[in-house]
Structure 1
Amino acid sequence: MAAACARTLSKVGWHILESPPCRAGNIASLIPRVPLHGSSRAYRTGGAGFRSKLLFSTPLRGGRVLGCAFLFGGGLGLYQTIKLSVQHHLAEEDVKPSVGGLKLTLYQYKTCPFCSKVRAFLDYHGLPYEIVEVNPVMRKEIKWSTYRKVPIVMVNDDVQLNDSSLIISALKTRLMSKDKTISEILRCYPEMKAVNEKGKEVIEFNNKYWVMVNEAEGQTMYPEKDSRKEEIKWRKWADDWLVHLISPNVYRTTGEALASFDYIVREGKFGTYEGFFAKYVGAAAMFVISKRLKSRHNLQDDVRQDLYKAVNEWVVAIGKKRKFMGGDQPNLADLAVYGILRVMEGLEAWDDMMENTKVKSWYRRMETATKSHKGQTEPALNIDQH
């Protein structure tokens, strides 16, 4: 949400500022075609850009002033809604770091489902971490990094982990393999450059869904014959399909879009003018973007049906005899799906999903397991050596 919207609004604002004042016209004619690159960012799942007549239909006057409003309210305002500075965080409770434990710093956008996946993993395993909330427009908090997406996790301030699935796999490997350093583990996930469907060069990571354990460790982690294959399959499903259903459902109608931004503005506790523009301009922009995402991913006219179908498919895959896909305890697929779905909490889409699917029991079990750090019984990390 923060990434796609703030960047879009800032581009709109600059375009208006650079345009000569006019006496009449539709603001839609001033909106540039903003590309939506596929990336691990808040609700950003690809798209071709947008032009809309939904934002305003009244004659444009004082274009430069309005441009300032877009910039200030849309760019800075949205950042202030999620600004957390640097804070110590561990779910809703504080859990003291174990002696010799690692220092983790998570660079994130709070509303990003990929970042939420990482938080779910860290919280479940009871791993203390600090959060640095990244400005989705300027991204100055990660200016030191050549990798320009979030989440990023820094380990002991000098080992950088990129990509949510790689982060989870690498840290899980370290939890299971006490004789490996995090730097050694990272070499198991080589970085590759590829070209996406739009012809843009992107960075991919080999083996990112694999936890690199030996045979004995593998038998402990995957006691059932096909459990590893199943975990990898559904982790990929969460990244390749489920995450693409979030934005079209959260911003399905103008009312839902406004409700989403009303929550952000309320939580941000910032000025009246900034809040006004963040809410109304942001909601309008994301409403339009969500329609393009709906078309890109070939979703039904009623996108709720796609969400319901996907969630029920997940529940069926778990089956009636298991509490989680991991059996009696969540596995990495459970944590990934839970992390993605929980970014909708408090919104109409989440209420509808809970009422119209069979996911509630599993979701509540995941919520309890994550908040109570059920995975903390595993061996504590000690990665003083790299």
Structure 2
Amino acid sequence: MAAACTRTLCKVGRSIWESPAARRPGTVSYLVGNVSSRGFRRAYGTGVYPSELLSSLRTGAGGRVLGCAVLLGGGLGLYHTVKFRVQQLLAEEETKVSGGGLKLTLYQYKTCPFCSKVRAFLDYHGLPYEIVEVNPVMRKEIKWSVYRKVPILMVDGDVQLNDSSVIISSIQTYLINKERSLSEILHCYPEMKSVNERGKEVTEYSNKYWVMLGETEITDIYPEKGMQKEEMKWRQWADDWLVHLISPNVYRTTGEALASFDYIVREGKFGTFEGFFAKYVGAAAMFLIAKRLKSRHNLQDDVRQDLYNAVNDWVAAIGKKRKFMGGDQPNLADLAVFGVLRVMEGLQAFDDMMDNTKVKYWYRRMERASLNHEGRQD
């Protein structure tokens, strides 16, 4: 529409310029119609219009002046229209290159460590995605889904990926080899239902730490022996151990529990009453639950020590010769651990971890890699 309007302006301007009447006095009055000071008052809210400009337009050259103005306006409009369209096409092309043309929508809780893992992966690879923040009480944003947990990643509006590790493994597989669709790749991670020790039905996924590649691709991605197994081992460690250290540490004391829920309410999607209830009642409840989690996972009385030990074990596994576990660039284990630890930012547990462990330099490198989309495919 903008382009059509611009073309019309150009034609009008040219016709004015070429018209013999444009050279005759009074032409401008005919072209602009009976525009009185009342008309300009309606348009601009004042009755002021420069008398010098009116008098110049009433001269014989007035028609040419108006024609030039319209031509110039049309030309500039066309230029900006073309420029905008070119930028739009370049952005679309960049999205196709970096994201494989995928339209991604992430349903999440912002403070959920599993959701944070997925965001870390998508951000690092420069994959554009939309976020739908889910209300943790009503969860109406995902009422359409049989799977009632987050994160959920919708791809192109019709392929649903559940479980953070399945999401990461399947998208990574697709980015490396686009010969298979995501629907086909998803068959490699079959869903399994079982009953846990508390009698609750849970959903798990087979092979979720595997990136499904051929032998040649495995050699390219994991050039050194044991790299793939190491990545898988620490990805599972992040899910099975590191994640379970978060709640006992951020809800360690009543003060920390209240500060944590204040952050959750500010960053999450809560109604006024829900937010108030979550902040005070939720903080008290999670303080008690954190105590039970400490017992369930056999944590020390000072749960900070378990967090420090875990983080230092991670740094030791990377070693002094590597920037990341993936070498010069992060691998999926780096992104998983970073995503889990990141949810504590702004809380006392995070500050204590940074001050009392060796994780700081690795963590800052991961921040830069994620912020700069260093894994983006050219």
Query: Does residue 1:241 correspond to 2:229, yes or no?
Result: no
3-state SS of 1:192 partner? strand
Is the CA contact 2:111–2:267 (under 8 Å) kept in the aligned structure 1? no
Which is bigger in relative contact order (C-alpha 8 A, separation at least 6)?
Answer: 1
Q: Map 1:95-134; keep pairs closer than 5 Å.
A: 97-98=95-96, 101-134=101-134
Q: Map 1:32-43; keep pairs closer than 5 Å.
A: none
Is the CA contact 1:189–1:207 (under 8 Å) kept in the aligned structure 2? yes
Is the CA contact 2:245–2:306 (under 8 Å) kept in the aligned structure 1? yes
Name the CA distance, whole Å, in 2 between partners of 1:266 and 1:191: 34
Name the CA distance, whole Å, in 1 between partners of 2:171 and 2:116: 16
3-state SS of 1:213 partner? coil
Equivalence for 1:280: 280
Structure (1 or 2) with the larger CA radius of gyration: 2
Q: Map 1:343-382; keep pairs closer than 5 Å.
A: 343-376=343-376, 378=377
RMSD: 1.9
Is the CA contact 2:312–2:359 (under 8 Å) kept in the aligned structure 1? yes
Higher helix share: 2
Is the CA contact 2:110–2:267 (under 8 Å) kept in the aligned structure 1? no
Deviation at 1:251, TM superposition (A): 0.6
The AA in structure 2 aligned to 1:222 is Y
Where does structure 1 differ by over 6 angstroms across 4 or more consecutive aligned residues? 268-274
Change (3 A) 1:322 1:157: same
3-state SS of 1:98 partner? helix
Name the CA distance, whole Å, in 2 between partners of 1:374 and 1:330: 9
Q: Map 1:250-269; keep pairs closer than 5 Å.
A: 250-266=250-266
Equivalent pairs, count: 284
Name the CA distance, whole Å, in 2 between partners of 1:269 and 1:110: 9
Deviation at 1:269, TM superposition (A): 10
Is the CA contact 2:117–2:335 (under 8 Å) kept in the aligned structure 1? yes
Deviation at 1:266, TM superposition (A): 4.7
Q: TM-score, normalized by length of structure 2?
A: 0.72
Deviation at 1:96, TM superposition (A): 6.2
Equivalence for 2:207: 207
Name the CA distance, whole Å, in 1 between partners of 2:220 and 2:269: 47
Deviation at 1:195, TM superposition (A): 2.2
CA deviation digits over 1:19-76, x for unaligned, max 9? xxxxxxxxxxxxxxxxxxxxxxxxxxxxxxxxxxxxxxxxxxxxxxxxxxxxxxxxxx
3-state SS of 1:97 partner? helix
The AA in structure 2 aligned to 1:106 is L
3-state SS of 2:208 partner? coil
Q: Map 1:144-223; keep pairs closer than 5 Å.
A: 144-223=144-223
Percent of aligned positions that are identical: 80
3-state SS of 1:301 partner? coil
The AA in structure 2 aligned to 1:97 is T
Is the CA contact 1:117–1:335 (under 8 Å) kept in the aligned structure 2? yes
Is the CA contact 2:134–2:269 (under 8 Å) kept in the aligned structure 1? no
Change (3 A) 1:345 1:107: same
Q: Map 1:295-310; keep pairs closer than 5 Å.
A: 295-310=295-310
Deviates further, 272-281 or 359-368: 272-281
The AA in structure 2 aligned to 1:280 is Y
CA deviation digits over 1:206-241, x for unaligned, max 9? 100000011111111111110000000000000000
Change (3 A) 1:136 1:271: closer
CA deviation digits over 1:74-125, x for unaligned, max 9? xxxxxxxxxxxxxxxxxxxxx9623661100111111100000000000000
Change (3 A) 1:315 1:268: closer
Name the CA distance, whole Å, in 1 between partners of 2:178 and 2:276: 51
Name the CA distance, whole Å, in 2 between partners of 1:195 and 1:267: 33
